[in-house]
Amino acid sequence: MRIATWNVNSVTARLPRLLAWLEKSGTDVLCLQELKCSAESFPAEPLRELGYEAAVNADGRWNGVAVVSRVGLDEVVTGLPGQPGYLGEAPEPRAVAATCGPVRLWSVYVPNGREVGHDHYAYKLEWLEALRAAAADDTAAARPFAVLGDYNIAPTDEDVFDPAAFAGLTHVTAPEREALAGLRALGLSDVVPRPLKYDRPYTYWDYRELRFPHNKGMRIDLVYGNEPFATAVEDAYVDREERKGKGASDHAPVVVDLEV
C-alpha cells in the first residue's frame, strides 16, 4: 500500500500535476495540504474519475486539507478536536482524518508561526498541543496510524540547509521542536524518508533565489506513525522530481510504502 503527503500550494493551480502524479506514482492514499480552495471548488470529480474519493476540510481561503483515497474512506473527522482559532477567530481548516482500508491517517497543516513572539507563533504552539492531545487515542490503538502533513517545523538542524541562516527564526526553535518531542512521547515516531538525490531528504525549497537548483531546502513535511505503522514501513522517499519544472509546488511529495 502506497501512501503520501503533499503540500500542493493550491489544489486548483496544481490539478494537472496532481492528477498526473497520482496516476504515475500509483499512490493509494494521498494527504493534501494548502488547498487554497472552497469545499465546493475542490476537484472531486476529476479525482473520482481516477478512482479516488476525498474527505475535504476547506473554507475557500488559505489553508485547506484533504485525504484522497482509492482504498476506502471511513470514520472521517473534519477538524482537530479542541483546536484553537487564531486570535479568537473560528478554527481554520487545518486537519482532517480518515480510515483508509487498514490504516488511519490524519492530514494536517500546522500554522506557520510567522515570527518568534508573534501571535501566530503562540497559536502554532497551541495548535500543536491540541494535536498532541487529540492524537493520543489513535496512537495507542493497535491499528496502524499516522499523522502526515506540513508541520512547519524542521525536527533537527540537519533538516535545514544552513542552521545559521535560520537563527532566531520560526521552524527551528526549541519550543517547536519540543512540541514534536511531545508527539513522539505519545508513541509516534518520525518516519524519515530517503532522498532521491543528495544526502538529505528535504521536502520544501523556497521558490526564490534558486533554492531548488542549489538544493537549499528544509524537511518540514513529516510522517509521524505509531508503532504498528512504523513496523509496516517498507520504504519512504521524497519525490523531488515533482519539485522540478514549471507549475511545481514549493513542496515535494513524501511517499511511504507499507506492508499491510
Partner DNA sequence: ATGCCTCTTAGGAAGAGA
Residues that bind DNA (CB under 7 A): 7, 9-10, 12-13, 34, 36-38, 60-62, 111-112, 114, 120, 150, 152, 170-171, 204, 206-210, 212-213, 215, 218, 220, 244-248, 250-251
Q: Give the cell for residue 184.
A: 513522539
DSSP letter for 195, please.
P
Output 138 or 242, the one with its CB closest to DNA.
242
Name the nearest CA neighbour of 174 among 156, 201, 148: 156
* Residue of 150, 159, 190, 221 marked active site: 150
Q: How far is the CB of 150 from DNA (least distance, A)?
A: 6
Q: What is the DSSP letter of 80?
A: -
Which CB, 120 or 200, lies closer to DNA?
Answer: 120
Any bridge partners for residue 93, and if so which? none
* 9 annotated as a binding-site residue: no
Nearest to 147 by CA among 72, 226, 202: 226
196 Cβ partners below 8 Å, 6+ apart?
A: 237, 238, 239, 240, 241
Q: Do 110 and 128 meet the contact criterion of CB atoms below 8 Å apart?
A: yes
Decide: 122 and 114 in contact? Cβ < 8 Å.
Answer: no
Q: Which is nearer to DNA, 143 or 244 (CB)?
A: 244
Any catalytic annotation for residue 251?
yes
Q: Is 34 annotated as a binding residue?
A: yes
CA–CA gap between residue 112 and residue 204 (Å, rounded): 13
Is 150 an annotated catalytic residue? Answer: yes
Which of 28, 52, 109, 239 is labelled catalytic?
109
CA distance 30 to 187: 23
Which one, 183 or 218, has the nearer CB to DNA?
218
Is 215 a known ligand-binding residue? no
Q: How many CB atoms lie within 10 A of CB 130?
A: 18
109 is catalytic: yes
Annotated binding site: 7, 34, 150, 152, 250-251
Annotated binding site for Mg(2+): 7, 34, 150, 152, 250-251
The residues annotated with a catalytic role in the active site are: 109, 150, 251
